[in-house]
Chain A
């Protein structure tokens, strides 16, 4: 437990670099999978299987001209991508990657907070400022439309997110992510399964909306508003927003896995195959995240974008009511059945 601050800082830096590396290769994986789903090949020219493509993309971003639009609010324009990426990276720090001390004697997380669940919600909710301010600062109509839409969307679906986790908190009785994993919400009672299942679905839907993925990618609906809040951004600042978007996806996937799918714990039968393998740190969390990441890509290839009125109606009426209903159902089961 008593890790020095330097160790913690290095772990945080390592985590940040790992997330950025994962971002780079996630873009490649996504383009390859999308290609296959759309009956084409995807990037495969740069290196074997296109493996050098992310490096080429990164170099291109760095060496492109960084345009500061003449009428932009310069300070906020530069600040916005920094806000986005900082909070996106920091949010992931509270996700536990394994039991205490399991990573070569180190704890596989950066921070273990008694209110870890709320911390992740709070840190990701700050991401709205990056998008909102970025679009506003550019002083461009497309960008402003994108950022306004986006801010309204993100706050609307945050409600679904908050209400969905109530089910988990009621069952686990704690806000600490590690304790939630150790309790294993599904193992408490079969009576709780309906509520959990509904909350899981609403949580995943709200999570996808929070990270602006298809079918909720209205903030950068390229057919209508060019690239939304990103319209005026170029080079490294644009790349930072992209990074933040993907890191937020990772956080969402890890958060979903941690709350609903047992997080870093491997399936029990793995111990029968390879003794002790269910306790390996990081591995299982990454495997579960991969499932969600694939789901995100799959949805992007499958679903059309929602219209704005559909988006708002869905979030405020169906998602809100169903998520609240799941929480109340779980409450009723705990109060009167168990």
Chain B
């Protein structure tokens, strides 16, 4: 219980950091911290495989995508920005409603908390085997639907990017150079001969 309280506090602080930090990359880092703490929470719940996948997929892949996007856009302007009037208050209201709903469900759920011993027996140490049994048993259809979902994601991403790539024709792509750098920069790069090693 004490462990959970500590982890929960860390997670909430991390989540608040995502919202409150001004610099987008700091906010993303805060989210990485939150996700890693969530993985630790999974470990304390004996869901070991889930914890590892949480780190590999969320912290290792999805957050890298977030960081890429932040750097692609490079949002500099952190000043006040024009948006729909009342959007901020609508967001606050939505947050309050959601938080109330979650709290209500959590407190009014009359079912007793499951016995940890029984849970850990069912989880069989939380290793990959049990997940495999469920995934390729009753959840088989869902498993294949996930494949279709991922396919949709790929097609969507490619479609989005290809359209933009055509409109920005001629810009240097994929060499790791930012688009539209002037020749002087390239020359300076060519002159760089000595490294630090």
A–B contact with Cβ pairs below 8 Å: the answer is yes
What is the interface size of chain B, counting residues whose CB is below 8 A from a CB of the partner?
34
What mask results when residues 166 to 196 of chain A are scored 1 for a CB within 8 Å of chain B, else 0? 0000000001000000000000000000000
B26 CB-CB contact with A under 8 Å:
yes
**In the assembled complex, B189 has its CB within 8 A of some CB on chain A:** yes
CB distance from A195 to the nearest CB of B (A): 20
Known contacts A118-B49, A227-B197: A132-B64 contact under CB 8 Å: yes
**B-binding segment of A120-128, A248-256, A318-326:** A120-128
Classify the interface of chain B: helix, strand, loop or mixed: helix
How many whole Å from A180's CB to the nearest CB in chain B? 13
- B196 contacts which of A73, A132, A227 (Cβ < 8 Å)? A227
Out of A121, A148, A224, which one reaches B189, CB within 8 Å?
A224
Known contacts A115-B48, A126-B55, A308-B174; decide if A142 and B127 are in contact (CB<8 Å). no
> Inside 8 A of A314's CB, which chain B residues have their CB?
none
A145 within 8 Å of B (CB atoms): yes
Indicate whether B150 reaches chain A with its CB closer than 8 angstroms: no
- Cβ of A149: which chain B residues have Cβ within 8 Å of it? 176
Q: Does B52 sit within 8 A of A, measured CB to CB?
A: yes
Within 8 A of A (CB), among B6-38: 23, 25-26, 29, 32
Q: Is the interface of A mostly helix, strand, loop or mixed?
A: helix
| In the complex, residue of chain B having the shortest beta-carbon distance to the beta carbon of A121 | B56
Check A158–B60 contact: CB distance below 8 A.
yes
> In the complex, what's the smallest C-beta–C-beta distance from B114 to chain A, in angstroms?
22
Q: Does A244 contact B (CB under 8 A)?
A: no
Complex Cα–Cα for A84 and B127 (A): 27
Minimum Cβ distance to chain B for residue A106 (Å): 24
Q: Which of B26, B61, B71 contacts A148 (CB 8 A)?
A: B71
CA of A133 to CA of B48, assembled, Å: 28
Interface on B for A, CB 8 Å cutoff?
23, 25-26, 29, 32, 48-49, 52-53, 55-56, 59-61, 64, 67-68, 71, 125-128, 174-177, 185, 189, 192-197
3 nearest CB pairs, A to B: A222-B195, A118-B52, A125-B60
Q: A226-B196, A308-B175, A309-B174 are in contact. List 4 more A-B contacts (CB 8 A).
A: A122-B55, A125-B55, A132-B64, A132-B67
